[in-house]
Structure 1
Amino acid sequence: MKKTISLLLFTELFVLASNLISYKFFLNAQIAFLSAFFILLGSMYSYKRLVEKRVEAGAYGDDDRDEIDKIDDPYDLYDENEDAVLETKDIKAVIKEEKKRLKANGFKNTKIASGATISLFRIIPYVFLVFGFIGLQNNQNLLLFPYLLFLLAGVAVGFFTGRKLFLSSL
């Protein structure tokens, strides 16, 4: 945890030191860094919560196959019961059933994943990113080089911080 905090503090000190170059440079650096940093943290936290909810709900059940079957067929491509089903049913009926099942699962997955997609932990940093960019542009303070440079730095620091905070328990 000390490495994560020291990385964040070092990067923020670097952003503050950019004020020595110019105030415009500092504004671009600070807005871009904070936007990217909080977008990544919010996304990682939202998806962590989504996975935890789905695990609690039993969406990821245990595989009841034995170890030899897992080695022989790791992706469960060859189901023994599948041949009997295909022989008894018409192929067109099987295709129609699969299409219905996929449509239902697609809507179900979209509904479940929308909780992570429409999370305030993700929306607020994106709003900050958009309004920060527009504010810089409207006030003729936008410098693309420092903006993109510190956007990349925010992504990197946000990824390492989020990995340490949210993925350390996995």
Structure 2
Amino acid sequence: MKKAISIFFGVQILIFITYFYSQKIFLNIEIAFLSAFLIILGSSFAYRKMIHSKIDSGEYEEDRDVLDTIDDPHELYDKVNDEVREGTLGYDTEINDAPIEELDLKQIVKEEKAKIKTLSLKNAKHGIRGSFAIMRLVPYIFLILGFIALKNNDVLDLVYYLPALLIGIVAGSLISREVFA
């Protein structure tokens, strides 16, 4: 936590130094930095909260044991991949207990489409709740209002504004990794 605070205040001190050079540059850099910084922190917080709620509700289950994860972290050597590599996945055998010549391909396509997970109300609710989380909306509102305020007061200078967004993204990423890890 001390590292996160020192990163934030270090960047803020560097930004404040620009005030003595030009107030216009300072406003552009400060608003852009805070906007990007708060967006990254808010998104990280909302993502962390979503993951914890899925784990707590039992929606996410890890069916692999620790040894499997260490031996094969990307699941390259699971049963289905072995069958594909060996060519024994079953394409030349009977499907649905029928010879290949007698298969109704239209029926098979309909069955496979039915298996595909469709958009349900429950899934939409989780997506909407994550998208409209207050921790994600407020920074975006700050970004939009800050940009409009700079533009309306003829202070906006994209030469300073855009790089400051990058600085805010980098600082927000470093701090969110430190705080939410």
State how far apart, in whole Å, the 2-side matches of 1:81 and 1:105 are: 29
Q: In structure 2, what is the Cα distance between the partners aligned to 1:97 and 1:57? A: 30
Moved more, 100-109 or 53-62: 100-109
Kindly indicate whether the alpha-carbon contact (under 8 Å) linking 1:50 and 1:113 is maintained by their aligned counterparts in 2. Answer: no
In structure 2, what is the equivalent of residue 112 of structure 1?
126
Q: TM-score, normalised by structure 2?
A: 0.77
Tell me which amino acid in the other structure corresponds to 2:31: I
Could you say what secondary structure the match of 2:9 adopts?
Answer: helix
Residue matched to 2:179? 165
Q: Counterpart in 2 of 1:87?
A: 96
SS of the residue corresponding to residue 72 of structure 1 reads coil
- TM-score (norm: length of structure 1): 0.81
What's the Cα RMSD here?
3.1
CA distance in 1, matches of 2:48, 2:112: 30
Task: Give, in whole Å, the separation in 2 of the partners of 1:85 and 1:41.
Answer: 53
Q: Provide, for residues 94-149 of structure 1, a one-character-per-residue CA deviation record: whole Å limited to 9, x for no partner.
A: 43233234352576544322222111101110011001101101110001111112
More off after superposition, 5-14 vs 101-110: 101-110
Amino acid at match of 2:30: Q
User: Which residue pairs with 1:58 in the alignment?
Assistant: 58
Deviations 1:6-50 (A, max 9, x none): 111100111111101211111111110110000000001101111
Choose which of 140, 151, 156 in structure 1 pairs with 2:165. 151
* Paired residues, number: 166
Gap runs ≥5 in structure 2? 98-102
Aligned to 2:143: 129
Aligned-pair identity (%): 35
CA drift of 1:60 comes to 1.9
Rate the CA distance shift 1:124–1:71 in 2: closer, same or farther, 3 A.
Answer: closer
Distance 2:64 2:164 in 1: 48
* Range with bigger deviation, 27-36 or 106-115: 106-115
Counterpart in 2 of 1:73?
78
Change in CA separation of 1:64 and 1:25 when aligned onto 2, cut-off 3 Å: closer
Contact in 1 for aligned 2:3/2:178 (Cα 8 Å):
no
Please tell me the residue identity of whatever aligns with 1:140: D
Q: How does 1:24-35 map to 2 (within 5 A)?
A: 24-35=24-35
Distance 1:144 1:71, change over 3 A: closer
SS class of match (2:14):
helix
Q: Structure 1 CA distance, aligned partners of 2:76 and 2:164?
A: 46
Q: Structure 2 CA distance, aligned partners of 1:5 and 1:108?
A: 38
